[in-house]
Copies of this chain bind each other. A is one copy, B any other.
Amino acid sequence: MTDPLFQRIAIIGIGLIGSSLARAIAEQKLAGEIAIFDASAEARAAAHELTLGQVVDSLAAAAKDADLVILATPIGAYADIGPALAPHLKKGAILTDVGSVKQAVIRDLGPHVPEGVHFIPGHPIAGTEHSGPRAGFADLFKGRWAIVTPVPGSDPTATAKLQALWSAVGSMVEVMEPAHHDQVLAITSHLPHLIAYTIVDTATQLETSTQSEVIKFSASGFRDFTRIAASDPTMWRDIFLNNREAVLEILGRFTEDLTAMQRAIRWGEGDKLFETFTRTRAVRRGIIDAKQA
Which residues of A line the B interface, CB within 8 A?
A: 100, 125-127, 129, 144-145, 147, 174, 183-185, 187-206, 210, 212-231, 233-234, 236-237, 240-241, 244, 247-248, 250-251, 253-255, 257-258, 261-262, 264-266, 268, 270, 273-274, 276-287, 290, 292-293
- Bound CA–CA A193/B277 (angstroms): 10
Kindly list chain B residues whose C-beta atoms are within 8 Å of the C-beta of A241.
265, 268, 270, 273
Given A200-B280, A241-B273, A255-B262, 17 additional A-B pairs, CB 8 A? A125-B217, A129-B284, A147-B217, A188-B214, A199-B254, A203-B283, A204-B280, A215-B287, A215-B292, A217-B292, A223-B293, A231-B277, A233-B281, A237-B273, A237-B274, A240-B273, A251-B262
Kindly list chain B residues whose C-beta atoms are within 8 Å of the C-beta of A265.
194, 240-241, 244, 247-248, 251
Shortest beta-carbon contacts, A-B, top 10: A189-B220, A192-B221, A233-B277, A230-B284, A200-B280, A229-B280, A188-B222, A189-B221, A215-B286, A226-B284
- Interface residue SS majority, chain A: helix
A127:B220 contact, CB within 8 angstroms: yes
Of the residues B125, B257, B278, B292, contact of A202 by C-beta under 8 Å: B257
23 contacts between A and B (CB under 8 A): A125-B219, A125-B220, A185-B220, A189-B222, A190-B221, A192-B220, A197-B280, A201-B257, A201-B280, A214-B283, A215-B286, A215-B287, A215-B290, A218-B287, A226-B283, A229-B284, A230-B281, A234-B274, A237-B274, A241-B268, A241-B273, A244-B265, A248-B266
